[in-house]
Copies of this chain bind each other. A is one copy, B any other.
């Protein structure tokens, strides 16, 4: 083997790991023009299986990056859930159907299932269109963080030194590279090398529940095979997740006898075959038939464990995201979603700091917001897993889980399983002072989607489409009723907000402005709105339906805003940052002053 060559380089952000968290992160940063590299130790991308459901909120997030269209085209949609329980006649029977998700405000009121390889391909193609590709196979071998406070305080310094080995499997050679990075993101999975390198512990423990997973095209007479099915039988529990094409995924509850080595009491994958997993499923499906005409595409075993990293960041220079900082049960479909949303939370914050728009203090809110979320998620997952893995209630087992109990839990946890319920607590970037000015826009939750109509051309638009993840804050000026008196208030507001020292001017580069009138498309002209609130004719909306009353209208009511209007600040990641009545608009200046910098 020849002597290794040592190459040295600098980068603003190095992302380790090209799974959902890492790809999301690299894509978002690249889209924002950040100098980013992403490496992975695997020589090629994942093909089948692995994580599945994309939650409604994650679809909204992907849409904000322009990536939802392809996901929706390629993926399967789960709209309905069906519940099966022991039948008095033996076997199982359907005890009910319900919406798969219970978050009525979801823009996309369903989950999408698509294999992880196809999801990753969406990111890889997007990255590639921006000239970024995943560098692989590369393994990191050493990392140091310069702890000098002066260095750490300079957002443009390169305090991270990381040694990479570029492998070339075909040649059996490797090349060493030393990278100096401003920021490092460890999205390197449950066994995260980054996490271990910085000695971050995982808190929590494994449960005793063991599940098998099988992907296949079924042959069956079970009428809910294209719905999410929660099957509780006297022969164990089972979950059906329909997937793209005619495929389904089965989650199958296993007993110790199915998988444990009787001597070591440890899981022994060699004891299990996909056919044996299917045999277990067949028993819980009775009296329905479940087989496959073809192959088992993919299979695995899971032991459920709920753990959260003790911290998500080291000096706001090294971050961990995705499975590197939380692991939980796959059935709740949380893994990939939580991972992508970690990255989504981090992207705009890193972008703002690197552009010099915000103080480094902004980066502290990543751990604050995402670790809290991970903890809530784990608590939910524990109770939900216990319910689902528990025995069903029958005449012989009055202690078991009843259908009603399970459905109630399913619906109570709806906000979690949809991802819509994510709620960030007050912080530098979440200011709840004037919540009453927009009663239903919960500050700290994602902005509610709604269809408005453009004043200039009566075209209906989903407000979310005007809130892209482009690293800019969005100032929504709800101008209120179209009366002369209110219009005078709007003009006087415009005048004051347009003063040179106001946030609208000082942070103009970091902010997009939209105006939304409570008037109708008939009585509002876009030219009625002060110019400072309309950068383009397409950015003036009215709260009205389209020409045929098919969509739109009722937005002020849905948002809890009255005829006197309100100001709403939406974060670059789509979460409501603050609201204010017109007369307190200067509080918005103070909000931005608290962490933004004048350029």
Contacts and interface: CB of A to CB of B under 8 A. Distances in A.
A242 B99 contact: no
A221 B221 CA distance: 65
Contact of A109 (B454, B526, B546): B546
Given A78-B457, A80-B458, A537 B100 contact: no
Given A223-B525, A226-B537, A547 B459 contact: no
Contacts of A527: 221, 223
A84 to B, nearest CB: 13
Contact of A110 (B459, B522, B525): B459
Interface in A427-462: 454, 456-460
A109 B226 contact: no
Interface in A482-507: none
Contacts of A223: 456, 525-528
Contacts of A417: none
Nearest to A103: B548
Given A456-B225, A457-B227, A537-B226, A109 B547 contact: yes
A548 B99 contact: yes
Interface in A76-111: 76-80, 97, 99-100, 104, 109-110
A225 B76 CA distance: 41
Contacts of A78: 457
How many chain copies?
A: 2
Contacts of A550: 109
A307 interface: no
A78 B546 CA distance: 12
Contacts of A221: 527
Contact of A457 (B104, B242, B457, B525): B242
A221 B246 CA distance: 55
Nearest to A537: B226
**Chain A binding surface SS class:** loop
A100 B460 CA distance: 14
A521 interface: yes
A565 B528 CA distance: 53
A80 B547 contact: yes
A458 B79 contact: yes
Nearest to A76: B457
Contacts of A104: 548
Nearest to A96: B522
Contacts of A525: 223-224
Interface in A309-339: none
Nearest to A457: B226
A16 to B, nearest CB: 35
Q: Which of A80, A100, A460 has the most CB of B within 10 A?
A: A80
A546 B108 CA distance: 12
Interface in A200-236: 221, 223-227
Contacts of A546: 79, 109
A78 to B, nearest CB: 7
Nearest to A79: B458
Contacts of A226: 454, 456-457, 526, 537
Contacts of A224: 525
A458 B521 contact: no
B457 A547 contact: no
Contacts of A548: 99, 104, 109
Contact of A77 (B99, B109, B457, B526): B457
Interface string A324-364: 00000000000000000000000000000000000000000
Interface centre among A224, A225, A457, A548 (most CB of B within 10 A): A457
> Interface centre among A78, A526, A548, by most B CB within 10 Å?
A548
Contacts of A456: 223, 225-227
Nearest to A105: B548
Contacts of A528: 223
A124 to B, nearest CB: 21
A266 to B, nearest CB: 39
Nearest to A528: B223
A527 B224 CA distance: 9
Nearest to A547: B99
Interface in A451-483: 454, 456-460
A526 B77 CA distance: 17
Given A97-B522, A457-B242, A547 B79 contact: yes
A79 B456 CA distance: 10
A332 to B, nearest CB: 19
A375 B428 CA distance: 69
Interface in A534-550: 537, 546-548, 550
A460 B527 CA distance: 39
Given A100-B547, A104-B548, A226-B457, 7 more contacts: A79-B457, A80-B458, A80-B521, A80-B547, A223-B526, A226-B537, A242-B457
12 contacts: A79-B458, A79-B459, A80-B457, A80-B458, A99-B547, A109-B546, A109-B550, A221-B527, A223-B525, A223-B528, A224-B525, A225-B456
